[in-house]
């Protein structure tokens, strides 16, 4: 029994959670170009749902939402940031994805994510079925889930994958692409901010996904801490605070608590 327990004890001793507690600050990878999850506001301040949720995690671990340092990364820089140890964990619109879990550890989802399609208001594409045409150029970020969805639901369309959502929506605005697929929060936000130039197509593209905190695997103590905190917010003792945060950034009520929600 002692032999079986030994590796776990060693892992606990080496947990990054101890480093966080000694440092008295969490270091988190976030996005700065993903409205409304993480972005820079008109005052130059980093804000958004994920930024404030990360502050709640800092508050849970260290007692203050200000004991946090944000490291902004692009989509392609978020996983290297945690794997290299530059940050403690990441919260950056990362979808739990089967291929990713081989090298990353995810908590349970802090938000459900659907994918919506945004078009210009004068677009000939009126529904999701209309995307599958050679006349359509279909944009998104260059991420695995987006690429797979484009191939699956619009194989005839010309797919274009940009570095950031900002560039993808710029392509839509400039007429470079006919439609853009994006995380539901981002799609709704961009449509709402477009002064009526963009509309969201009815229905969702693909399945319901979960966006989750991600970290370097192999640190059970830190993972359990983060996963428990997320669980308490989305379904437990802090659900009322989660509701306020959700309503503020997504403009609608949070999903009902799901105590048994797991991966």
Partner 1 sequence: MDLRLILRILPDLLEGLKLTVALAACSLLGAAIGGVAVMLARRSSLTLVRRMAIGFIEIMRNTPIMVQIFVIYFGLPSPGLYPDAFPSAVAALVLQNSAYIGEIYRAGLASVNRTQMEAALALGMLPRTALWAIVVPQALRRVMPALGNQAVIIIKDSSIASTIAVAELTHTGKLLLDRSAAPYETFLAVGLLYLALSLTTLFAMRLLARLLPVRA
Where do contacts with partner 1 occur on this chain (CB under 8 A)? Answer: 75-76, 79-80, 83-84, 97, 99-100, 102-104, 139, 142-144, 147, 160-163, 167, 170-171, 174-176
> By C-beta, is 10 or 102 nearer to partner 1?
102
Give CA–CA dist 59/67, Å, rounded: 7
CA distances (Å), 137 to each of 157, 161, 162, in order?
6, 10, 13
**β-strand partners of 113:** 209
- Give least dist CB 175 to partner 1, A: 5
- Give least dist CB 90 to partner 1, A: 11
Cis peptide before 36 (omega within 30 of 0): yes
> By C-beta, is 61 or 94 nearer to partner 1?
94
> Token match 């529904």: residue?
127
> By C-beta, is 8 or 121 nearer to partner 1?
121
> By C-beta, is 80 or 218 nearer to partner 1?
80
- Give least dist CB 144 to partner 1, A: 4
- Give least dist CB 189 to partner 1, A: 20
Tell me the pairing of strands 89-90 and 26-30.
parallel
- Residue 163: what are its φ and ψ, rounded to 5°? -65, -35
**Residues 193, 197, 203, 208, CA torsion sign:** negative
- Give least dist CB 21 to partner 1, A: 27
> By C-beta, is 170 or 224 nearer to partner 1?
170
Reference 156, options 124, 183, 125, 130; nearest CA is 130
């Amino acid at each position: 029994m002692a032999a079986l327990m030994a590796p776990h004890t060693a892992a606990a001793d080496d947990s990054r959670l101890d480093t966080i507690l000694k440092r008295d600050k969490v270091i988190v990878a976030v996005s700065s170009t993903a409205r409304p999850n993480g972005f820079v506001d008109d005052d130059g301040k980093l804000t958004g749902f994920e930024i404030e949720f990360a502050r709640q995690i800092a508050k849970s671990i260290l007692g203050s939402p200000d004991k946090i340092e944000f490291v902004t990364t692009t989509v392609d820089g978020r996983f290297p940031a945690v794997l290299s140890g530059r940050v403690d964990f990441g919260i950056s619109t990362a979808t739990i994805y089967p291929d990713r879990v081989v090298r990353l550890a995810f908590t349970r989802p802090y938000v459900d994510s659907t994918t919506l399609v945004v078009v210009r208001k004068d677009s000939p594409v009126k529904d999701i079925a209309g995307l599958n045409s050679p006349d359509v150029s279909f944009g998104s970020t260059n991420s695995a889930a987006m690429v797979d969805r484009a191939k699956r639901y619009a194989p005839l369309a010309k797919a274009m994958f940009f570095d950031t959502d900002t560039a993808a929506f710029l392509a839509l605005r400039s007429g470079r692409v006919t439609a853009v697929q994006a995380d539901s929060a981002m799609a709704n936000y961009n449509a709402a901010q477009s002064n009526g130039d963009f509309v969201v197509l009815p229905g969702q593209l693909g399945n319901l996904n979960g966006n989750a905190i991600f970290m370097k695997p192999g640190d059970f103590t830190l993972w359990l801490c983060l996963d428990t905190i997320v669980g308490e917010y989305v379904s437990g003792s802090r659900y009322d605070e989660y509701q306020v945060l959700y309503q503020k950034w997504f403009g609608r009520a949070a999903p009902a608590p799901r105590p048994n929600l797991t991966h």
